[in-house]
Amino acid sequence: ELTGRMDFGTGPLGLIGNVIWFLVAGWWLAIGHLTSAVACFVTIIGIPFGIQHIKLALIALAPVGMQVVPVRR
């Protein structure tokens, strides 16, 4: 959708890559980020960092095919 053309991450190879990633490393990284998020939520100053750790945990589950897009303000 972003570029108007199909790339590696949006086809069947991307699905296979995400499944392999999830089984090998994705869920370990997600658990680590969720643990860090809980630790950050203990203090008021750490809450924004905890929110970012939750976002990183979601990305860690299936990163193949995702793109970082700047936000226009």
Number of CB atoms found within 10 A of residue 53's CB = 21
The model's pLDDT over 8-47, given as tens digits with 9 standing for 90+, comes to 667 788 888 889 989 999 999 999 999 999 999 999 999 9
* CA 51 – CA 40 distance, rounded (Å): 9
pTM over 0.85: no
Sign of torsion, CA 25 27 32 34? positive
- Residue-wise pLDDT tens digits, 45-54: 999 999 999 9
